[in-house]
Structure formats: structure tokens, C-alpha cells
Amino acid sequence: MEIAHDGAADRLRALPTRLVNQVAIVADRATDRALEHTGSRRHHYALLTTLRAFGPDSQAELGRRTRVDRSDIVAALNDLAERGFVERSPDPGDRRRNIVTMTDSGARHLAELDRRLDTAQDELLAGFSAAERTELVELLTRILDHHSRG
């Protein structure tokens, strides 16, 4: 049996599915450490980032854009609203819908989360050059784009 330097069989180190899963575990830990003590989780970050990128939007559209489950969107938005990071208001065009807007306080909180998550990216990709980081993001994006079409 062939053994790689880290004790894993060579066959395991050659399976992209396993490698991606193992890296995801390391990435999740780095993200958890970055968000620790902020009161925010991944869903909060996804929602605030999407609001910054696209502006005020409906809860349903935020769910589609972030690919966060509807029930998780409601809970995360409730939490963000309670903390003063977003405001909900009735959609003038359709009173059944709420429009979510990020507040100035939410923008400041997002800036802090961005700084913390930048540190997590640096931790995860410490051995990579800037060009390698860009290439990795492009490759991972291609995988996601390919599978989201189907």
C-alpha cells in the first residue's frame, strides 16, 4: 500500500471529491473562528453582502441570490433586524412582500465581517501566491457553475 506524507493512502489524496470535502472542513473551521464573537453566522454574512451588492430586495429574492433556504432566511433576517443591521418595510408595489434594506449599522458590521473573513482566507490559503488564489477561485467557480446549470 502506498502512503502519502500525511499518512493518507495515495488513492485518497487523488480523489477530488474527498480533497474538496477535507478542505471544506478546514475552511469551515477558519470561517467559524473568523466569525466568533461577532454574533453573526455565514447566512448573516451572505445576506448583508448581497444587500451591499444589489441594494434593497425582497426576502424571496435574497433567498434566491444567496441560495439560503427560505426558513433560514427568515430566522437570519429576524436576527439582523433585531440587531439593527437591516430594516424591513412593505413593498409599495406588492404589500404582501417585505423589502429588506441594510442600515448604516449593518454596513459597519459587514465591514468588520469582511476584515475577519479576509483573515480566514489568508489563513486557509497561506501557501498560495495571489495568482494561485485567483486560479483556485476560478476553478471552484467553474465547478459550481457547471453543477448549478443542471
In the chain, where the domains are located: 10-149
Residue 1 has pLDDT above 80, yes or no: no
**Mean of the pLDDT values across residues 101-118?**
98
For residue 76, what is its C-alpha cell? 437570519
For the stretch 59-87, pLDDT in tens is: 999 999 999 998 899 999 999 999 999 99
DSSP E strands, 11-147: 57-58, 86-91, 94-102
CA dihedral 46, 52, 54, 60 (to 10 degrees): 40
Fold of 10-149: Arc Repressor Mutant, subunit A (1.10.10)
pTM comes to: 0.86
* pLDDT score for 4: 54
What does the DSSP assignment read for 22-63? HHHHHHHHHHHHHHTTTT--HHHHHHHHHHHHH-SEEHHHHH
